[in-house]
Amino acid sequence: MALKIIDECIACDACTEVCPSGAIEGADPIYIISFDLCTQCVGYFDDPEPSCVKVCPVDAIILDESKLETDIQLMEKYIKNNT
């Protein structure tokens, strides 16, 4: 699975503060999530819900159905990004 930020984003910065992989960055007018860096917190935490989704006050972080990944692929990305 992959995540994306939609137009409801209010650029509050809450998601960037909790993203362990540094995959979220400010952009104008809404923030963006780097597909190459985002592991949906797989490898960082045991919680199945990504940290950014939990803290977003306007539910602007959703599943990007066009870029689906398995948990195995996300773990491989975590390992690649942290070696």
Q: Please write the tens of the pLDDT for every residue from 34-81.
A: 999 999 999 999 999 999 999 999 999 999 999 999 999 999 999 999
- Which CATH number covers residue 23? 3.30.70.20
- The count of structural domains within the chain is 1
Instruction: Identify the domain containing residue 48 by its residue range.
Output: 3-81
pLDDT of 1 higher than 70: no
What confidence tier does 2 reach under pLDDT thresholds 50, 70, 90?
confident
Whether pTM exceeds 0.95: no
| DSSP states along 17-59 | HH-TT--EE--SSS-EE-TTT--TTBTTBS-SS-HHHHH-TT-
